[in-house]
Amino acid sequence: MRQFRPPELAAYIQSGHTPVLLDVREPWEWNLCRLPGAILIPMRELPARLSELNKDAETIVICHHGVRSYHAARYLETAGFVDVVNLAGGVAAWADEVDPAMPRY
């Protein structure tokens, strides 16, 4: 599985790529901060909501520190998703490395 650090993802998006940004955190976390354009499907809901996602689309999986997203990305791969990327460091690293104005928790 590929992994991006936040600056890599920011540059990737800025260069015109349009991956699906899948946030697997809980709603209370999502309400505190999120990447622009991301969609929320909490990790615990992922198995029941797979049909909402395109298995052929490039999907970047996001969480707080990159651990839940890593496990969710592995799950997506076993479910037949062909292009899954984990955001290493999660939104915490995004705030540190890309957007210092992003709220932290």
pLDDT more than 90, % of the chain: 99
Q: Which pLDDT score is estimated for 11?
A: 98
* Residue 25 token pair: 């955190």
Question: 105 falls in which pLDDT band (50, 70, 90)?
Answer: very high
Query: Rounded distance, CA 99 to CA 8, Å?
Result: 13
Q: In the sheet that 20-23 helps form, which strands lie side by side, from edge to edge?
A: 2-4, 84-87, 59-62, 20-23, 39-40
State the architecture of 2-97 in CATH terms: 3-Layer(aba) Sandwich (3.40)
Query: CA gyration radius for the chain?
Result: 13
Residue 63 annotated to the active site: yes
Q: Which of 46, 63, 85, 87 is catalytic?
A: 63
33 closest CA partner among 10, 59, 73, 62? 62
The model's pLDDT over 3-28, given as tens digits with 9 standing for 90+, comes to 999 999 999 999 999 999 999 999 99
pTM of the prediction?
A: 0.97
Q: Which pLDDT score is estimated for 88?
A: 98
Q: Which residues are within 8 A (CB) of 5 and not within 5 positions of it... i.e. 6 or more apart?
A: 88, 89, 93, 97
Q: Would you kindly state where each structural domain of the chain is located, as residue ranges?
A: 2-97
